[in-house]
């Protein structure tokens, strides 16, 4: 993949389609088009520059010459990683992932602790009939803010009578962010460990809680023969079938923020909206930049683990301001990273951010 | 057998990796070879003279030419044999360029390979029998598919030259896309008027039959005698034509497949073609801010259209001019990757609009964001390296040309090829730009790639002229490679009858064997491959020839 990206650099026509859609270019020292040009000519690139990229993939999706600018960034990063010229926080995250299989370095033995908060027992995947695996992001497993999400989704699936299992402490980081940081060796190691587990337990379907995990398992793990879905796809299906009934009203003005890895990268736009539309009395609004042109929250591409050097207005703030101008009370989304980045700014302005499953829990 | 072997150097193309001198010396020793010569350019006039003299002086009855691929210069060498007084089907071409010298750099290996290829050619040629080309009558009539500006031009030319023309059009009205144009650059004449003139002229002639609301349902036969079935508004009709001009045009690109452009989701986002209806209906403010976006549906691999549509830059300029004329105080900004104002006068037209105050910003617009108040355009000014968000009242998408939606199906029906983008493919991009690989079928206008109105008219006329030249002869030669049945071996299983697409095989109820109707046989060879008792062969391609040819390749020299 790397070689492919590197070779496509030569066909760039510097049209600027990438830069115009880039969530970082124009506001920060980062300019994706210029980065590609510098790479074309093998010019020196300031080592702080590649780390602005949030891996939203808008550039690669739209590039008329299929240059894959986001892969060029990964290419540049991987050289920096190899030489050790990387921000300390990134280095830490990589080390943590190597040792504990999660970027925050929390003990692996505690990965399955969230399931203790459920009032029923979730079986290990090996004990299930349908071999459907509920796959958590590291942030779901360890972060106190996001731990509620797997608890909610598991409860909802359980109530719908939908059988599933978990891997518990055998689960390891999916590697999506690791690949984007440029540590391809570690990514492959993580992928192999997960794939070995999937194979051993005969996993047939994966319900990923994070769009980031879903993306890499669906598009970058190769042909595993496993059907990978985001949990909103499963839940919207269960609601349509009538297995789940959101019967309580939710009288709120809400707005849905499309996560890049769910929306523009994997074209899942309608399922989360279908879930929200099935709730009584809810007024669902849309951002001016939604669906394919959704504005990235800046949580991807390793940006969850460190801060870039320059101070500038965050996209999450722009997002929250627009929501506020539209009279919205709650911003909802279906990605743990988006929840974290948006909430920081929303709370300052008196708005709430709820993960989709949190709203569903209130109405079912 | 008195064979002559002529080995071409093709300048350095063959010589630099094949020892041609060694080969010509080697073949002198082979029994049956009377002449063995290597020469710089066998296809050049002096080269042809050498062959001609050798045939005449040495009474050659087999000619093996080892040079470029047989598809190149095939007719040239065959004619040369004819002129030299020998049967043209005594010619064997051996490719030692594409299949040998161009493949590797190892001189020893290439020379050995070339030797085997030539030997195998010589063995095949030793079996050759003199064949006669069949002369067939040519119907002086033509089918023109598509009643746009190109098809109309072709039909008019052919009809004026006295050819009976059947002009068919899928739509209810003739005129294609030019009919929809308010002004056609550079004359700025109304498209409808241009079309009207062409139609008026055609209607004055009594040898043109026009069928609108019509599609082709069946197509069979060969040059001079194509049998066409059409469906004219539910009614079936059949006729015979000598040749065909395909002028099926294009489909305007539909920008709604690019979600970031929001086309069809907001009425303030329109295409250049939409604007041909006029600007008034848009209800713009007195001083409108208008953005024009180039390259929509062109030069874009994400949607499988990597080509430049060639017409849209001029269309963008024309749109800018329209707006400036209607709203002198408007602000017009054009967003481009490159301004390719190709045709003569295009660059001056571009300059004249800059003088009128139209601004040009380099950079492919990334996103169009409709808001209640206006439309925001997001992109990068790539010359300044700055990302902008600009507000406009109207966004015009300068759309490119996509292939006609049914060109693949039509291509299959006529057995003509498409290029990688889905446009009809010419037989040779420089030497035969109007021909297809099928004899008597020509292509015209934008069905063979984006073209403007002027080019489409010229292309239509040129194709018509070439077809006229062929039809006007009144006769044509058909290659003699047709099927031949050995009645002693035929078991009468009739599998070949089913396989034959030309319907040339008939079963003789009395003798219980099949027969080939020579006039109908296309020489495709399907029956040969189907026959379980090897009773059918193509004249000139018997099984024994091929076996010997292979043994030439495998022989240890």
- Testing the interface with B: which of A14, A17, A63, A263 to mutate, by most B Cβ within 10 A? A17
Classify burial at B329, counting beta carbons within 10 Å of its beta carbon; exposed 0-12, middle 13-18, buried 19 or more.
Answer: exposed
Give backbone dihedrals phi and psi of B374, rounded to 5 degrees, phi first: -160, -170
Residue B473 has pLDDT above 50, yes or no: yes
Q: What is the mean pLDDT of chain B?
A: 94
User: If you ran DSSP here, which 8-state letter would residue B301 be given?
Assistant: G
Contact A181, A77 (CB under 8 A): yes
pLDDT tens-digit series, residues B278-308: 888 888 999 999 999 999 999 999 999 999 9
Cβ-defined contact of A293 to B365 (cutoff 8 Å) = no
Q: What would the two tokens of residue B490 be? A: 């035929």
Closest CA of chain A from B255, distance in Å: 14
pLDDT tens-digit series, residues B480-498: 888 989 999 999 999 999 9
Residue B430 has pLDDT above 90, yes or no: no
Residue A1 confidence (pLDDT)? 40
Residue B280 confidence (pLDDT)? 84
Q: Where are the beta strands (DSSP E) in B328-418?
A: 331-336, 359-362, 367-370, 375-381, 386-392, 394-399, 401-403
ipTM attached to this prediction: 0.88
Contact A85, A77 (CB under 8 A): no
Give the integer Cα–Cα distance in Å for A255 and A289: 12
Closest CA of chain A from B534, distance in Å: 46
Cβ-defined contact of B387 to A26 (cutoff 8 Å) = yes
Residue A2 confidence (pLDDT)? 43
Residues 20-39 of A with CB under 8 A from B: 20-22, 25-27, 31, 33-34
Domain pair A90-237 / A244-363, same fold: yes
pTM recorded for the entire structure: 0.83
Fold of B3-132: Rossmann fold (3.40.50)
Classify burial at B234, counting beta carbons within 10 Å of its beta carbon; exposed 0-12, middle 13-18, buried 19 or more.
Answer: exposed
Closest CA of chain A from B93, distance in Å: 40
List chain B domain ranges. 3-132, 141-249+404-476, 254-400, 483-538
Cβ-defined contact of A66 to B301 (cutoff 8 Å) = yes
Closest CA of chain B from A66, distance in Å: 6
Q: What is the mean pLDDT of chain A?
A: 95
The ranges of chain A with pLDDT < 70 are 1-7
Q: Does B364 touch chain A (CB under 8 A)?
A: yes
Cβ-defined contact of B380 to A16 (cutoff 8 Å) = yes
Nearest to A17 among B259, B364, B371 (CB): B364
- Testing the interface with B: which of A15, A23, A60 to mutate, by most B Cβ within 10 A? A15
Residue B374 has pLDDT above 60, yes or no: yes
- Which residues does chain A have within 8 Å of residue B379's beta carbon, measured at their own beta carbons? 16-17, 19-20
Q: What is the CATH number of domain B483-538?
A: 3.30.70.20
Give the integer Cα–Cα distance in Å for B503 and B512: 18
Domain pair B141-249+404-476 / B254-400, same fold: yes
Residue B557 confidence (pLDDT)? 54
Closest CA of chain A from B512, distance in Å: 56
Cβ-defined contact of B260 to A289 (cutoff 8 Å) = no
Average of pLDDT values for B360-370? Answer: 97
Give the integer Cα–Cα distance in Å for B242 and B222: 8
Q: If you measure CA to CA, which chain B residue comes closest to A21?
A: B366
- Which residues does chain A have within 8 Å of residue B362's beta carbon, measured at their own beta carbons? 16
Cβ-defined contact of B380 to A58 (cutoff 8 Å) = no
Selected from 3.50.50.60, 3.10.129.10, 3.40.980.10, 1.10.760.10, the CATH number assigned to the domain covering B141-249+404-476 reads: 3.50.50.60
Q: Does B337 touch chain A (CB under 8 A)?
A: yes
Classify burial at B386, counting beta carbons within 10 Å of its beta carbon; exposed 0-12, middle 13-18, buried 19 or more.
Answer: middle
Give the integer Cα–Cα distance in Å for B297 and B388: 23
What homologous superfamily does CATH list for A2-83? Answer: Alpha-helical ferredoxin (1.10.1060.10)
Residue B429 confidence (pLDDT)? 85
Cβ-defined contact of B380 to A65 (cutoff 8 Å) = no
- Selection from B429, B437, B426, B434 nearest residue B464 by Cα: B434
Fold of A90-237: Rossmann fold (3.40.50)
Q: If you measure CA to CA, which chain B residue comes closest to A60?
A: B302
Nearest to B367 among A31, A63, A293 (CB): A293
- Testing the interface with A: which of B261, B262, B366 to mutate, by most A Cβ within 10 A? B366
Residue B517 has pLDDT above 90, yes or no: no
Q: Does B206 touch chain A (CB under 8 A)?
A: no
Q: Tokens 């990597």, residue? A: B306
Cβ-defined contact of B364 to A61 (cutoff 8 Å) = no
Cβ-defined contact of A19 to B382 (cutoff 8 Å) = yes
pLDDT tens-digit series, residues B197-245: 999 999 999 999 999 999 999 998 889 999 999 999 999 999 999 999 9
Residue A229 confidence (pLDDT)? 98
Q: If you measure CA to CA, which chain B residue comes closest to A290?
A: B369
B/e letters for B29-62, b = 16+ CB within 10 Å, e = fewer, are eeeebbbbbbbeebbeeebbebbbebbeeeebbb
Cβ-defined contact of A21 to B367 (cutoff 8 Å) = yes
Residue A30 confidence (pLDDT)? 96
- Testing the interface with A: which of B293, B340, B367 to mutate, by most A Cβ within 10 A? B367
- Which residues does chain B have within 8 Å of residue A27's beta carbon, measured at their own beta carbons? 387
Bridge partners for A28 per DSSP = A25
Q: What would the two tokens of residue B372 be? A: 């209640």
Residue A3 confidence (pLDDT)? 47
Q: Does B367 touch chain A (CB under 8 A)?
A: yes
Q: Which CATH class name applies to B254-400?
A: alpha beta
Q: Quickly state the pLDDT bin for B556 (edges 50, 70, 90).
A: low
Q: Does B302 touch chain A (CB under 8 A)?
A: yes
Closest CA of chain A from B300, distance in Å: 4
Closest CA of chain A from B294, distance in Å: 11
pLDDT tens-digit series, residues A47-104: 999 999 999 999 999 999 999 999 999 999 999 999 999 999 999 999 999 999 999 9
- Other CB atoms closer than 10 Å to residue B255's CB: what's the count? 24
Q: What is the CATH number of domain A244-363?
A: 3.40.50.10700
- Which residues does chain A have within 8 Å of residue B371's beta carbon, measured at their own beta carbons? 288
List chain A domain ranges. 2-83, 90-237, 244-363
Give the integer Cα–Cα distance in Å for B449 and B434: 12
Give backbone dihedrals phi and psi of A138, rounded to 5 degrees, phi first: -55, -35
- Which residues does chain A have within 8 Å of residue B305's beta carbon, measured at their own beta carbons? none
């Amino acid at each position: 993949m790397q070689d492919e990206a590197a070779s496509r650099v030569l066909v760039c026509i510097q049209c600027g389609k990438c830069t115009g859609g880039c969530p970082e270019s124009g506001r920060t020292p980062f300019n994706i088009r210029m980065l590609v040009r510098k790479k074309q000519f093998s010019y020196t690139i300031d080592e702080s520059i590649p780390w602005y990229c949030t891996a939203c993939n808008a550039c690669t999706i739209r590039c008329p010459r299929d240059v894959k600018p986001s892969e060029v960034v990964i290419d540049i990063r991987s050289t920096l990683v190899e030489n050790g010229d990387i921000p300390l926080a990134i280095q830490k995250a990589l080390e943590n992932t190597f040792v504990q299989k999660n970027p925050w370095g929390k003990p692996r033995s505690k990965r399955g602790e969230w399931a203790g908060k459920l009032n029923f027992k979730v079986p290990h995947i090996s004990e299930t009939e349908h071999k459907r695996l509920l796959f958590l992001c590291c942030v779901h497993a360890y972060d106190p803010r996001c731990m509620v999400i797997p608890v909610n989704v598991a409860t909802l699936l359980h109530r719908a009578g939908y059988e599933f299992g978990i891997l518990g402490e055998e689960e390891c980081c999916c590697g999506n962010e690791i690949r984007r940081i440029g540590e391809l060796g570690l990514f492959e190691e993580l992928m192999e460990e997960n794939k070995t587990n999937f194979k051993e337990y005969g996993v047939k379907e994966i319900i990923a809680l994070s769009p980031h995990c879903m993306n890499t398992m669906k598009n970058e793990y190769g042909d595993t023969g496993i059907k990978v879905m985001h949990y909103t796809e499963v839940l919207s299906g269960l609601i349509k079938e009538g297995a789940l009934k959101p019967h309580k009203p939710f009288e709120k003005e809400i707005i849905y923020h499309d996560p890049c890895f769910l929306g523009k990268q994997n074209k899942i736009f309608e399922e989360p909206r279908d879930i929200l539309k099935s709730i009584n009395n809810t007024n669902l609004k849309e951002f001016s930049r939604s669906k394919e042109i959704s504005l990235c929250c800046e949580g991807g591409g390793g940006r969850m683990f460190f801060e870039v050097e320059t101070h500038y207005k965050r996209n999450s703030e722009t997002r929250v301001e627009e929501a506020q101008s539209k009279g919205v009370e709650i911003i909802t989304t279906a990605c743990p990273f988006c929840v974290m980045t948006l909430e920081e700014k929303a709370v300052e302005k008196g708005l709430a951010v709820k993960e989709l499953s949190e709203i569903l829990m209130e109405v079912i | 057998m008195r064979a002559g072997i002529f080995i071409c150097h093709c300048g350095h193309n063959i010589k630099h990796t094949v020892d041609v001198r060694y080969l010509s010396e080697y073949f002198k020793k082979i029994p049956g070879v009377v002449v063995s010569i290597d020469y710089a350019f066998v296809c050049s006039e002096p080269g042809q003279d050498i062959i001609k003299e050798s045939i005449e002086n040495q009474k050659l009855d087999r000619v093996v030419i080892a040079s470029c691929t047989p598809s190149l210069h095939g007719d040239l060498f065959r004619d040369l044999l004819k002129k030299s007084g020998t049967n043209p089907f005594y010619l064997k071409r051996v490719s030692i360029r594409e299949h040998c010298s161009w493949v590797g750099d190892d001189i020893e290996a290439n020379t050995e390979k070339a030797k085997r290829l030539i030997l195998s050619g010589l063995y095949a040629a030793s079996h050759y029998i003199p064949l006669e080309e069949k002369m067939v009558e040519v119907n002086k009539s033509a089918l023109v598919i598509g009643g746009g500006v190109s098809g109309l031009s072709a039909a008019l030319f052919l009809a004026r030259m006295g050819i009976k023309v059947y002009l068919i059009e899928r739509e209810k009205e003739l005129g294609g896309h030019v009919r929809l144009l308010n002004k056609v650059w550079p004359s700025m004449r109304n498209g409808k008027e241009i079309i009207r003139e062409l139609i008026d002229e055609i209607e004055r002639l009594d040898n043109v039959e026009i069928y609108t609301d019509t599609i082709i349902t069946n197509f069979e036969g060969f040059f001079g005698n194509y049998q066409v079935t059409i469906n004219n508004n539910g009614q079936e009709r059949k006729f015979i034509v000598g040749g065909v001009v395909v002028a099926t045009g294009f489909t305007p690109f539909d920008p709604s497949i690019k979600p970031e452009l929001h086309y069809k989701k907001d009425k303030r986002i329109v295409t250049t073609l939409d604007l041909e209806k006029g600007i008034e209906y848009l209800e713009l403010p007195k001083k409108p801010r208008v953005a024009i976006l180039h390259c929509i549906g062109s030069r874009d691999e994400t949607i499988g259209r990597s080509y430049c549509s060639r017409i849209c830059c001029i269309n963008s300029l024309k749109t800018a001019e329209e707006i400036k004329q209607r709203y002198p105080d408007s602000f017009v900004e054009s967003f481009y990757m490159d301004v390719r104002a190709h045709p003569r006068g295009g660059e001056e037209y571009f300059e004249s609009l800059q003088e009128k105050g139209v601004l040009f910003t380099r950079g492919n617009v990334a996103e169009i964001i409709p808001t209640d108040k206006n439309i925001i355009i997001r992109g990068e000014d790539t010359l300044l390296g700055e990302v902008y968000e600009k507000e406009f009242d109207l966004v015009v998408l300068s759309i490119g040309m996509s292939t006609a939606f049914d060109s693949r199906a039509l291509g299959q029906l006529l057995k003509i090829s498409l290029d990688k983008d889905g446009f009809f493919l010419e037989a040779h991009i420089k030497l035969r730009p109007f021909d297809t690989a099928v004899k008597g079928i020509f292509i015209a206008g934008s069905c063979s790639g984006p073209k403007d109105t002027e080019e489409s008219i010229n292309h239509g006329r040129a194709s018509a002229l070439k077809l006229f030249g062929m039809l006007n002869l009144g006769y044509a030669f058909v290659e003699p490679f047709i099927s031949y049945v050995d009645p002693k071996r035929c078991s009468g299983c009739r599998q070949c009858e089913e396989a034959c697409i030309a319907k040339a095989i008939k079963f003789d109820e009395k003798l219980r064997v099949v027969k080939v109707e020579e006039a109908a046989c296309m020489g495709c060879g399907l029956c040969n491959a189907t026959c379980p008792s090897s009773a059918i062969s193509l004249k000139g391609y018997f099984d024994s020839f091929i076996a010997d040819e292979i043994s030439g390749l495998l022989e240890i020299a």
